[in-house]
Amino acid sequence: MLLYRSLQMTIAAAVPALVIGAFGCSKKDNNPPNSPTDGTHFSSGNMAGNGATFSVVFTKVEDVPYHCIYHSGMTGVISVSAASGTPTSHAVGMGAVIFIPATLSVHVNDTVKWTNGSGVPHTVTSIN
Ligand SMILES: [Cu+2]
């Protein structure tokens, strides 16, 4: 059962491709084999370009590992604990091949918003 709901996904229009660093991030030939359960909790789809965002409200106590399907080393975990007070929003940045922070603790009903700040395409895809 899908317990997560995607709030929004906006992609900045007409942002010029800007490759940062020497990571070869525009390559997509280093994909890990995708898990059959990829995206069970959430999947952003392609977040092309600087400024693309994706948000999820977490509604259940659990740890949710996720990754970028384009970059094998680009992984993160959202650790969700019991609801506490007023729900808040958390920001996760997306660098060339990294989520910042890679691990994040939130409470039930909190929102996590990822923003691609790297100028190369990424995804935010739950591993299970
Ligand atoms: Cu990526």
| Residue 71 alpha carbon to ligand 1 centre in Å | 5
| Average pLDDT for the chain | 81
CB 108 within 8 A of CB 100: no
d(CA 102, CA 10): 22
How high is the pLDDT of residue 6? 45
- Rounded to two decimals, what is the model's pTM? 0.74
pLDDT, tens digit (0-9, with 9 covering 90-100), for 14-71: 333 333 333 333 333 344 446 778 898 999 999 998 999 999 999 999 999 999 999 9
| Residue 68 alpha carbon to ligand 1 centre in Å | 5
114 SS3 class? strand
| Residue 124 alpha carbon to ligand 1 centre in Å | 8
d(CA 57, CA 60): 10
d(CA 24, CA 120): 10
User: DSSP characters for 40-80?
Assistant: SS-B---B-STT-EEEEE--SSEEEEEEETTEEEEEEEEEE
| Residue 41 alpha carbon to ligand 1 centre in Å | 18
| Residue 85 alpha carbon to ligand 1 centre in Å | 33
Which amino acid, one-letter code, is at 9? M
| Residue 123 alpha carbon to ligand 1 centre in Å | 6
CB 76 within 8 A of CB 65: yes
Q: Answer left, alpha or beta for residue 125, where phi above 0 means left and psi between -120 and 50 means alpha.
A: beta
